[in-house]
A and B are shown apart, each in its own frame.
Chain A
Amino acid sequence: MSAEKPAGVWRSSLRLWRTRIGIALVLLLVGVAIVGPWVAKFSPSEFAGTPNTRHVPGTWLGTDYLGQDVVSRFLHGGRSILWMASVSTLLGFVFGAAIGLIAAYNRGRLDDVLMRGMDILLAFPQLLLALVALTTIGPEPWLIITIVAFTTMPRIARITRGAAVPVVERDFIGAAEALGESRFRIITKELLPNVTGPLLVEANLRLTYSIATIAGLGFLGFAAEVNAADWGQMVQENRTALTVAPWGTLLPAFAIALLTVGTGLIADGVSRTVAGVDRGRPDA
Chain B
Amino acid sequence: MAGAPYWGASATAASSTFMGIFKLIVRRVLLGVVTLLVVSFAVFALTNLLGDPVHRMLGRGALPEVVKAKRAELGLDRPFFTRYFEWLKGLMTGDPGNSFSNGSPVMDIVGDRIKNSLFLMFVASMVSIPLSLFIGARAALRRDKTFDRVTSNQMLIFAAMPEFVVGAFLTVLLATNVWHVFPATSRIRPGQPPWSDWKGVILPAITLTLAVTPHVSRTMRAAMIEVLESDYVEMARLKGLPERAVLWRHAFPNAVGPTLQVIALNIAYLAGGVVVVESLFNYRGIGIALRDAIPVANAPIVQFIAMFIATIYVVCNLLADLGAILVTPRLRTRLQ
Contact = CB atoms under 8 A, between A and B. Distances in A.
Do A and B interact directly, with beta carbons closer than 8 Å? Answer: yes
Given A132-B46, A132-B302, A242 B176 contact: yes
Contact of B164 (A123, A133, A137, A219): A219
A246 B172 contact: yes
A45 interface: no
B310 A239 contact: no
Contact of A253 (B165, B272, B303): B165
A113 interface: no
Contacts of A208: 160
B156 interface: yes
Nearest to B287: A220
Is chain A's interface secondary structure helix, strand, loop, or mixed overall?
helix
A136 B168 contact: no
B276 interface: yes
A168 interface: no
B74 interface: no
Interface in B261-306: 268, 271-272, 275-276, 279-280, 290-291, 294-295, 297, 299, 302-303, 305-306
A215 interface: yes
Contact of A239 (B177, B272, B280, B306): B280
A246 B46 contact: no
B160 A220 contact: no
A216 B72 CA distance: 36
A220 B163 contact: no
A129 B46 contact: yes
Interface string A201-226: 00000001001110110011100000
Given A216-B276, A261-B157, A264-B156, A125 B310 contact: yes
Interface in B228-287: 268, 271-272, 275-276, 279-280
A249 to B, nearest CB: 6
A217 B160 CA distance: 16
A220 B171 CA distance: 17
A12 B35 CA distance: 43
B304 to A, nearest CB: 11
A128 interface: yes
A250 B168 CA distance: 8
Given A137-B50, A257-B169, A264-B159, A243 B177 contact: yes
Contacts of B302: 131-132, 135
Nearest to B295: A221
Contact of B291 (A220, A250, A253): A220
A127 B272 contact: yes
Contacts of A138: 51, 56
A3 interface: no
Contacts of B313: 123-125
A133 B46 contact: yes
A143 to B, nearest CB: 9
Given A124-B42, A136-B46, A260-B160, A129 B306 contact: yes
Given A137-B51, A257-B161, A260-B161, A120 B168 contact: no
Interface residues of B, number: 50
Interface residues of A, number: 43
A227 interface: no
B162 A256 contact: yes
Contacts of A219: 162, 164, 276, 279-280
Interface string B291-328: 10011010100110110011001100100000000000
Nearest to A127: B272
B76 interface: no
A268 interface: yes
Contact of A131 (B48, B165, B290, B297): B290
A152 interface: no
Contact of A123 (B161, B291, B314): B314
Given A125-B310, A132-B302, A253 B160 contact: no
B53 interface: yes
A261 B279 contact: no
Contacts of A124: 39, 42, 310, 313
A129 B35 CA distance: 14
Contacts of A72: none
A265 interface: yes
Given A216-B163, A221-B294, A250 B172 contact: yes
A9 interface: no
A250 to B, nearest CB: 7
B91 interface: no
Most buried by A among B38, B160, B297: B160
A132 B164 contact: no
A3 B303 CA distance: 62
Contacts of B220: none
18 contacts: A123-B35, A125-B306, A128-B275, A131-B294, A131-B302, A132-B303, A138-B51, A208-B160, A212-B160, A215-B165, A216-B163, A219-B276, A220-B294, A221-B294, A236-B164, A242-B172, A253-B169, A257-B165
Interface of B: 35, 38-39, 42-43, 46-48, 50-51, 53, 56, 156-157, 159-165, 168-169, 171-172, 176-177, 184, 268, 271-272, 275-276, 279-280, 290-291, 294-295, 297, 299, 302-303, 305-306, 309-310, 313-314, 317
Interface of A: 120, 123-129, 131-138, 208, 211-213, 215-216, 219-221, 232, 235-236, 239, 242-243, 246, 249-250, 253, 256-257, 260-261, 263-265, 268
Given A137-B50, A265-B160, 9 more contacts: A124-B310, A128-B309, A129-B43, A135-B297, A215-B165, A219-B164, A239-B280, A246-B176, A256-B162
